[in-house]
Amino acid sequence: MNGASTSIRGLSDYLAASAVAVLAAALFSLFGTHRQLPVLGTEPLLPVTLLAAAFGLGASLVVTRRGICPAFKGFSWDGSLWLFILGSWLALPPIAIDFYLRFPRDINLPLPDELFFYPAIALVAEVLFHLIPLAALVILLPRKTPTAWHFLPVILVEPLFQAVFTIEAPLQSALVLGNVTLISAAQLWLFRRYGFAAMIGLRLAFYLIWHILWGTVRLDLLF
């Protein structure tokens, strides 16, 4: 198998995830009721998702050709179950933080909008916080740089971004920084070992518990 076909095969899970995200964004544009969105504000979801998918494709190609992530292996149902379990455990700390220290009301969308929004924004997050920084380091660092030095700085990109939103509450900010660092490290380990499907799968499992299930309960329980 030549290098080009190997790269294309290595991108197949990214392309599948992108298709699902774009479809979710399109459904949100048709049926969504909220125009003020978490993080995005009034920016429309579909163009943002399409732009992220395009940038992510380029970044994935750079990363795959350098051998940073494995060629596509597929992902088993057993693997999906473990991702759900791990995502559930990782969602418990922010639920505890929310219960005792209270995040703002508008950090999540109500049903049914959240069913379309979070699959789309998951792709945007992976591209922005993981794929683009990894690709940038692959380009900038010498070829003989140990792989760990590509991943270690990227672990902190999303935690630092998330901590900015709670900077006025130092304890909450520190707890968020620690929790998101753990999630980011787990995702990048999965990406290195199993590929993009595993990385975004963990985020989706986390979103299901944190944003969708708890996100629905918290609006009545805490406000």
Distances (CA, A) of 164 to 39, 47, 169, 181: 12, 25, 10, 14
Has residue 6 got a pLDDT over 80? no
Collect contacts of 79-88 with beta carbons under 8 A, ≥24 apart.
79/194, 79/198, 79/201, 80/201, 83/190, 83/198, 83/201, 83/202, 83/205, 84/205, 84/208, 86/186, 86/202, 86/205, 87/202, 87/203, 87/204, 87/205, 87/206, 87/207, 87/208, 87/209, 88/205, 88/209
Mean residue pLDDT of the chain comes to 87
Has residue 73 got a pLDDT over 70? no
> pLDDT: is 71 or 192 the higher one?
192
Report the pLDDT value the prediction gives residue 13, as an integer from 0 to 100. Answer: 84
**Average pLDDT estimate for 196-218:** 93
Report the pLDDT value the prediction gives residue 76, as an integer from 0 to 100. Answer: 58
> pLDDT: is 216 or 4 the higher one?
216
Which band of pLDDT confidence, cut at 50, 70 and 90, is reported for residue 9?
low
Which band of pLDDT confidence, cut at 50, 70 and 90, is reported for residue 4?
very low
User: Comparing C-alpha atoms, which of 4, 110, 100 is closest to residue 61?
Assistant: 4
pTM of the model: 0.90
How many CA atoms lie less than 13 Å away from 107 in the CB half-sphere?
A: 20
Cis peptide before 110 (omega within 30 of 0): no
**71 contacts: CB under 8 Å, gap ≥ 6:** 6, 9, 10, 64, 195
Distances (CA, A) of 121 to 45, 53, 189: 8, 11, 21
> pLDDT: is 119 or 195 the higher one?
119
Which DSSP letter does residue 37 get?
Answer: B
Per-residue pLDDT tens for 89-127? Answer: 999 999 999 999 898 888 888 888 899 999 999 999 999
Report the pLDDT value the prediction gives residue 188, as an integer from 0 to 100. Answer: 95
Report the pLDDT value the prediction gives residue 168, as an integer from 0 to 100. Answer: 73
Which band of pLDDT confidence, cut at 50, 70 and 90, is reported for residue 71?
low
**Average pLDDT estimate for 124-151:** 92
